[in-house]
Copies of this chain bind each other. A is one copy, B any other.
Amino acid sequence: MNTQINIAGVTFKNPVTVGSGTFGSGMEYSEFVNLNRLGAVTTKGVANIPWPGNPTPRVTEVYGGMLNAIGLQNPGIDVFCERDLKFLEDYDTKVIVNVCGKSVQDYVDVVERLSDEKRVDLLEINVSCPNVKEGAIAFGQKADALFGITSELKKHAKQPIIMKLSPNVTDITEMARAAEAAGADALSLINTLTGMKIDINRRTFALANKTGGMSGPAIKPIAVRMVYQTAQAVKIPIIGMGGIATAEDAIEFILAGATGVSVGAANFVDPYATIKVIEGIEEYMRKYNVENITDLIGAVH
């Protein structure tokens, strides 16, 4: 049984990674799971300089999910390289660094700073965070802007780049095609859906930021649909995510066309979720005599 997958020339021992921002850089969850078992660790978004993020409340629960408006708080690329990448040196897993910024130059700065970092296998470009006011999301909601930033980053990046797409668009395939045309090596989707919750007793927004990104099991059908549509539209590999909590969920994404899968908010619900997903995929492969996991990618169409 072979669970290996390949994303842009990088071989993962299995398709399972984590949603950026739900797993830190692995430190906190290393108390619960053996990081060596993961296909890859995807780190919390990092910018060229430290970002303070949004005011609290930053998180709230909704039916079958949650909203967050962390606002990409991060300590900046210098601390990240010294601390987080150093921490990950001890582990035998691929590292996907999620990169955020407010301007093209911000992204370029981070990408260039990371170009010599041996511990970085892939870059995931976050152009779809709904919680940052200054521009970033615009790259993820307009095809021409997405094309522009993707082609610019391709000029500077040493590692393959994964463009992380926003689901808050009319046509996900238009965005996917633009990223592919601009040279993206892979896509990841979906980022969170923009949502809102109002506290009817206090008559206030539940989040200080008013809106937040929705994640959790509730959004899975939308994510599966977008992964499927995208898989029909482009040839580059897809890392599927959005509500994956179980192996069954992960397999659903793979059958829909995802090469890799990310466990996101489910880490908060069950810190062992990633391992359970990995083991459950293996169990499914045994049950149905699937020799290579790649045989399942896009098998339903």
Contact = CB atoms under 8 A, between A and B. Distances in A.
Interface of A: 62-65, 67, 141, 168-171, 193-198, 200, 203-205, 210-211, 214, 217-222, 224-225, 228, 243, 248, 251-252, 255-256, 284, 299-300
A62 B220 contact: yes
Contact of A64 (B141, B200, B217, B248): B217
Given A170-B170, A299-B203, A198 B252 contact: yes
Q: DSSP class of A's interface residues: helix, strand, loop or mixed? A: mixed
Given A168-B170, A198-B255, 7 more contacts: A141-B170, A194-B225, A197-B224, A200-B251, A203-B300, A214-B222, A218-B219
Contacts of A194: 222, 225
Contacts of A141: 170-171
A224 B200 CA distance: 12
A33 to B, nearest CB: 24
Nearest to A63: B217
B205 A221 contact: no
Contacts of A284: 200
A225 B211 contact: yes
A171 B228 CA distance: 22
A170 B169 CA distance: 4
A243 B150 CA distance: 37
